[in-house]
Amino acid sequence: MPYLIRGGDNAIVREFARACAENGLVVPMATVSLFFHPVFRDGAFTANDPEVRAYALQKTMRAMDLGAELGAKIFVLWGGREGVETDACRRADEAVKRLRHAVNYLCEYNIDQKYGFKFALEAKPNEPRGDIYMATTGHYLGFIPTLDHPEIVGVNPEVAHEQMAGLNSMHGVAQAWEAGKLFHIDLNDQMPGRFDQDLRFGSANFKSSFWLVKFLEDVGYDGPRHFDAHAYRTEDYCGVKDFARGCMRTYLILKEKAACWNRDKEIHAILQEIAGGGNGSFQAGPYSKQSATQLLAHVFDKDAISKKRLPYERLDQLTVDLLAGLR
């Protein structure tokens, strides 16, 4: 499946993508490069030079024109150069205002042209800038409600980008999903403390990849599963195909493992054991003056509550056994 159109003025990209479309292959996502040319060395939408900011908008609008022509419905924006090496160059809140102006402008263009795009904003903590303003998916989830058209703007969490920040990437994906903002996802892998590696999905952190796949499958995520990764640079053409197959194969393996996990009787018994409190345990329901009075009057038996078993070691080992093919 041809997946990514990054450009806007690239005749080869247009010709290739059009040929794919004519053969019934789907182009679900388009994006734009606002990070390669030196004109963006100080940023694109957040650059100090207003002419650079205007050019970044123009380039993005042309990429939207191309994406719409080819039927894409998701438009990913990764602000790779929207950051700093020194905070002397601008106030960080001014950068947020400039970014807001740009996304609002593009939303209006999308509506005017009746393209029907949904924008998916992709975060990254650093590289190729020393610090990037929108460092994590959570930063964007806080930014989106401040836009003029938040209903057409969501996020594109990338596994490795969240891991570069030392975060649990599945947690960011889950928050985006819960907020109705998981419009797209970039699957890959990353070792801690390294440059942005874009490793084959599941090749470095197998268990955390499992939890991510399990989450996506459990909640019924039906958006694109995009592998934003690349083969080892030691590979030849066949090796690149091995890499691509590997990404998909690992996802499907973990999807099957998630189904096994969900129907495992011993795991299920532990889940029942750890769910909630004992019979008749006190719970805080919706707030009311009466419920608040009852809550304040209640005497909690902390020692008794603390005696409840939490067999997470056993639960995690069962998960490891299952992933290792022993269950």
Question: If 0-12 CB within 10 Å is exposed, 13-18 middle and 19+ buried, where does residue 96 land?
Answer: middle
Least distance to Mg ion, CB of residue 136, Å: 14
- Helix or strand (DSSP H, E) at 75: strand 74-78
Least distance to Mg ion, CB of residue 76, Å: 7
**Contact between 186 and Mg ion per CB under 5 A:** yes
**Contact between 42 and Mg ion per CB under 5 A:** no
**Contact between 82 and Mg ion per CB under 5 A:** no
Least distance to Mg ion, CB of residue 153, Å: 17
Is the CB of residue 178 less than 8 Å from the CB of residue 144? no
Stretch that binds Mg ion, among 27-35, 94-102, 183-191, 245-253 (CB under 5 A): 183-191
Stretch that binds Mg ion, among 172-180, 181-189, 250-258, 304-312 (CB under 5 A): 181-189
Which residues within the stretch 222-281 sit at the binding site for Mg ion (CB under 5 A)?
Answer: 228
Nearer to Mg ion, 227 or 261 (CB): 227
Is the CB of residue 65 less than 8 Å from the CB of residue 72? no
| Helix, strand, coil percent values for the chain (each to nearest 5) | 50, 10, 40
Enumerate helices (H) and strands (E) in the chain, giving the number of each. 12, 9
Nearer to Mg ion, 82 or 186 (CB): 186
Size of the site for Mg ion (CB under 5 A): 3
Stretch that binds Mg ion, among 43-51, 129-137, 163-171, 179-187 (CB under 5 A): 179-187
Least distance to Mg ion, CB of residue 3, Å: 12
Stretch that binds Mg ion, among 37-45, 90-98, 111-119, 180-188 (CB under 5 A): 180-188
Q: What is the DSSP string of 291-322?
A: HHHHHHHPPP-HHHHHTS---HHHHHHHHHHH
Q: In what order do the strands lie in the sheet with 153-155?
A: 4-6, 29-31, 74-78, 118-122, 153-155
Over 216-237, what HEC string results? HHHHCCCCCEEECCCCCCCCCH
Which residues within the stretch 99-158 sit at the binding site for Mg ion (CB under 5 A)?
Answer: 158
Nearer to Mg ion, 8 or 79 (CB): 79
The residues binding Mg ion (CB under 5 A) are 158, 186, 228
